[in-house]
């Protein structure tokens, strides 16, 4: 593990957003969803692909708040352009558990 400076950490823009749409992503190499998130008026709506199908159904994700890195450059994933990264943790089986706020906060709130 390498050590980073406080300034480097501050450059990572982690924001809260609410999932507003979830679609299957059958073209993905590994099972994934296409996820649309509302990050509030400053950032707006962004889309990403997320390999979170093992622990979450589409209906469980709708309306849920998540944390995302919103200042990565867009990344082409097959026919889909991912605009941010949803953050989570790998379990022993390599499935992902989302990192989420434990109570509701306004969309777009930056991680303190």
Give the pLDDT confidence score for residue 3 in this predicted structure. 96
Give residue-wise pLDDT tens across range 46-97.
999 999 999 999 999 999 999 999 999 999 999 999 999 999 999 999 999 9
Look at residue 57 and tell me if it is in a domain.
Answer: yes
Domain total of the chain? 1
* Average model confidence (pLDDT) across the chain: 96
In a domain, 41, yes or no: yes
Q: Is residue 87 part of a domain?
A: yes
| pLDDT for 109 beyond 90 | yes
Q: Is residue 112 part of a domain?
A: no
> What's 15's domain CATH number?
2.40.50.140
Which pLDDT tens digit goes with each residue over 41-59?
Answer: 999 999 999 999 999 999 9
At 112 the pLDDT is 85
Helix (H, G, I), strand (E, B), or coil: what is residue 9? Answer: helix
Domain membership of residue 1 (yes or no) is no
pTM of structure: 0.94
Domain holding 42, by residue range, is: 10-98
DSSP-derived letter for residue 1 is -
């Amino acid at each position: 593990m390498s050590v980073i400076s406080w300034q480097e950490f501050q450059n990572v823009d982690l924001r809260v957003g609410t999932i507003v749409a979830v679609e299957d992503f059958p073209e993905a190499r590994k099972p994934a969803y296409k996820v649309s998130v509302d990050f509030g008026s400053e950032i707006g709506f962004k889309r990403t692909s997320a390999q979170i199908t093992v622990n979450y159904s589409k209906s469980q994700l709708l309306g849920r708040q998540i944390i995302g890195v919103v200042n990565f450059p867009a990344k082409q994933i097959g026919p889909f352009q991912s605009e941010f990264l949803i953050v989570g943790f790998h379990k022993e089986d390599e499935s992902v558990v989302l990192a989420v706020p434990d109570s509701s906060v306004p969309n777009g709130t930056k991680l303190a």
